[in-house]
Amino acid sequence: MSDSVFGDLDGLLKHVDSKFSLVNVVTKRAKQLNNGAPPLTERVNPNKPVSTAFNEVRLGKIPYKRTREGIK
């Protein structure tokens, strides 16, 4: 696994259906962490909530389910 923020992109995409969804999930989770939500993993850097959110997604700690299809 790479030490970059994204790490293994394929590993991240196993938990969401697209890169767009990944960005939305990570953004929402990073905002929650900034507002004081407890981290769901052991690997935490309080100064980098986006990295923590990516790590949580990579480990499958953030549930994601598409609720409806896009515009057709």
Task: Quote the pLDDT of residue 70.
Answer: 63
Q: Is the pLDDT of residue 61 over 80?
A: yes
Residue ranges per domain, the chain?
Answer: 9-58
Q: Is the pLDDT of residue 50 over 60?
A: yes
pLDDT tens track for 9-34: 887 888 888 899 999 999 999 999 99
Task: Quote the pLDDT of residue 53.
Answer: 93
Those residues whose C-beta lies under 8 Å from the C-beta of residue 15, and which sit 6 or more positions away, are 57, 58, 60, 62, 64
Which segment of 9-13, 35-39, 48-52, 60-64 scores lowest on mean pLDDT? 9-13
Find out whether 49 and 28 touch, Cβ atoms under 8 Å: no
